[in-house]
Chains A and B, each alone.
Chain A
Amino acid sequence: MVRLRSPSTLSEVEGLSFSFALYALSSTLSENYFKMIKLRVPSQLKQFDRLKTGDIVLLSGIIYTARDQAHKRLVEALKKHKKLPFDLKDQVIYYCGPSKTPKGKIIGSSGPTTASRMDEFTPVLLKAGIRGMIGKGSRSKEVIEAVKKYKAVYFLTYAGCGALLSKYVTKMKPVTYKDLGAEAIYRLEVKDFPLIVGIDSGGNNIYTIRNTQYAIPKNKQKKARF
């Protein structure tokens, strides 16, 4: 793992490139608290079991966007035992409705949307085989239980940072429900997409344990798990 000094002054912050700076900060952060892990999906899905709440993950591979209306349709289709427009098994769903793609760019602004709005649909999708979700904010008890049951992971990503996150997307292709505009399902290829584990496969929720985590003495937090 690369260890870099954290930028301390504002002029340093302004001058740094975003990826370098994120990397620098991530590394100082993980020194003290958590690990930073590079993962590829779907090929390294097995690693999901080893992720712990609070870990920083740089995700590469294929993810699918879906938000409110797409969730509603997917769940309705599942309930009626209809064939789905794409195979949900082992996929990672990103709660995102990107803005339009400017000329010369791969994707427009593409940050996470509030995950709790998807709560009522998530257990059904987890049952159908999805293994990961990316969003922002807290989840319901039912979702946490389902995440545990199906050994999935809920990731957080940088909320309100759509321009920054668009830099980690290398390909974008609409898949289905194109009539929904921004709410359609897109297949995204991402590289080192920065995430924080929000709920790990053991059902540990970052919003309930974060305070106790920070209370752990620093020397004990350094323990490496990988």
Chain B
Amino acid sequence: MRIIRADKIKNLVSELCILANLNLRKDVLTKLKSSYSKEKNKRANQILFAIIQNAKIAREEGIAICQDTGMPVVFVGIGQEVFVSGDLKAAIMRGVGSGYKKGFLRGSVAKNPLKRGKPGYLPCVIHIDIVKGNKIKLTVLPKGFGCENKSALKMFKPTAGISEIKKFIVDTVKSAGPDACPPYIVGVGIGGTADYAGLLAKKALLRKLQAPSSLPVRQAGKLQANYKLEYDLLREINKLNIGPMGLGGKTTALAVNIETYPTHISGLPVAVNISCHALRSATGIL
């Protein structure tokens, strides 16, 4: 058994909050740059350029990439051989609080969802998972709500065809339109239960964005089906001509990431979690 002090967790979470909000993920930046080279629409090009410049300024000058530093979502994978000395959840909360304060990030959490009032940093959303091993993996995903507001869940019939599911996903992007800061990263969760599909959709956003050309479309196995679907959906979404800021162009989405899980014989939940172009997350291991 390995003992990890709660303080260490707090410090790491604090660092991750700042890292995520100030440094755009490398895979996202790479994708933005390749989209910039490929985009023919001049206005779209100009906007992509501004987005790339924005990431640079944020990184170099220590300003948050976006003023909406999100509702922090923390994913914790605890190795089953780890013993946490101290209060784990309190440590994560304290970490978020101190990271958001140190990074001059925005307090965007309304304590009472109905009465609203002055927003603060806390609480964050925590997902805890027990995994093998003797380490703790922490991931902070500050999720802005311009795009979170465009999330959707649909409980399909088990007999629903793939074209229906595709249509639902594309329609969700269509209804987000220009409002949620395109180009988007579309996270999709298929299977599980209603809540689990939602979690899968969010977890899908954590996966590295891959270039469509490198997708193993022709390989056999379970992954292959997902990749093929991702590839097809990305192409379809990029035909919508929404484009950066919704002003046209073929860069409507940078990637579609799909996660699947077994589900009940009577249903087929599909959740879509849209992320704006500023998809921010940071991971650390203790």
Contacts and interface: CB of A to CB of B under 8 A. Distances in A.
A18 B57 contact: yes
Interface residues of B, number: 54
Interface string A148-183: 000000001011111110110000000000011111
A91 B181 CA distance: 26
A182 B108 contact: yes
A15 B240 CA distance: 32
A183 B119 contact: yes
A208 to B, nearest CB: 11
B63 A163 contact: yes
Interface stretch (B40-48, B89-97, B159-167): B40-48
Contacts of B53: 13, 16, 18, 21-22, 161, 164
Contacts of A21: 49, 53
Contacts of B204: none
Given A29-B46, A162-B64, A182-B108, A137 B179 contact: yes
B104 A99 contact: yes
A187 B217 CA distance: 53
Nearest to A32: B42
Which 8 pairs, one residue from A and one from B, show the smallest C-beta to C-beta distance?
A137-B179, A99-B106, A109-B64, A163-B58, A100-B104, A161-B54, A164-B54, A162-B67
Interface of A: 7, 10, 13-14, 16, 18, 21-22, 25-26, 28-29, 32-33, 69, 96-103, 105, 108-111, 113-116, 136-138, 156, 158-164, 166-167, 179-183, 194, 196, 206-207, 210-211, 214
Nearest to A157: B245
Given A13-B36, A108-B67, A162-B68, 18 more contacts: A10-B37, A18-B57, A99-B64, A99-B105, A108-B106, A111-B67, A113-B67, A136-B245, A156-B247, A159-B146, A160-B66, A160-B144, A162-B63, A162-B64, A163-B58, A163-B61, A163-B65, A211-B241
A14 B36 CA distance: 12
22 contacts: A18-B57, A29-B43, A33-B43, A96-B67, A97-B67, A99-B64, A101-B104, A102-B63, A109-B64, A109-B66, A111-B68, A113-B67, A113-B146, A114-B179, A137-B177, A160-B51, A161-B66, A162-B65, A162-B66, A163-B63, A207-B246, A211-B248
B54 A33 contact: no
Contacts, number: 173
B219 interface: no
Contacts of B49: 7, 13, 21-22, 25
Contacts of B108: 97, 182
Contact of A161 (B41, B51, B179): B51
B222 interface: no
Contact of B45 (A25, A33, A207): A25
B264 interface: no
A7 B33 CA distance: 13
